[in-house]
Amino acid sequence: MKAVIPGTSLAIHPDRFPDPADTLPADRDAGRAILGGGCFWCVEAVYAALDGVNSVVSGYAGGGADSANYEAVCGGRSGHAEVVEITYDPARIGFGELLKLFFSVAHDPTQKDRQGNDRGPQYRSSIFPVDEEQERMARAYIAQLNNAGAFTAPIVTTIETGHPFYPAEDYHQDFARRNPNQPYIQHVARPKLDKLHAAFPDLLKS
């Protein structure tokens, strides 16, 4: 039996999920991406498993520096989303592959201001492009997926430009790896990792 995320609105199984039609050559790939897909613990766990990814840092984007802390962000009024900052080697994995996994594995992009039981704008599906190339690719891929009927509902992912990334507190970093038996990690992150391993084994670190 292939792994799935309970509640996902995928209409195409991940191993048949379309690649972005719009690609980005390695020499024009920034090697850095900022993505929000609900709780950053779980999104971090997905990207940390990928070959070519050098680091994944949990943090906040979309609001100001003065409220870039967990207590303020959890209130849902700071403007931030929980995000991860991914640095990677574009010669080994590209922004297009990160986007493909963002939509097919890391979260459900049809849930507005929530992921599962995590509710509020801080859990919104969001992409914070670091340059114009990423913005162009993200918009084109969302249109491609909607046109392909990849989900049973429209994609609600926001594309938000011009926002800096703020690292989260130290205790949030590498949380899933350090706490594999924590109930939230078992029920939310583990199914995503199972799905990643089942559908994209060739993208994993050895």
Residue type, 70: Y
Catalytic residue positions, numbered: 39
Please say whether the beta carbons of 137 and 21 come within 8 A: no
- The C-alpha atoms of residue 178 and residue 164 are separated, in whole angstroms, by 27
Residues for the chain: how many in total? Answer: 206
- The C-alpha atoms of residue 189 and residue 66 are separated, in whole angstroms, by 29
Q: Where are the alpha helices (DSSP H) in 6-131?
A: 40-48, 70-74, 95-101
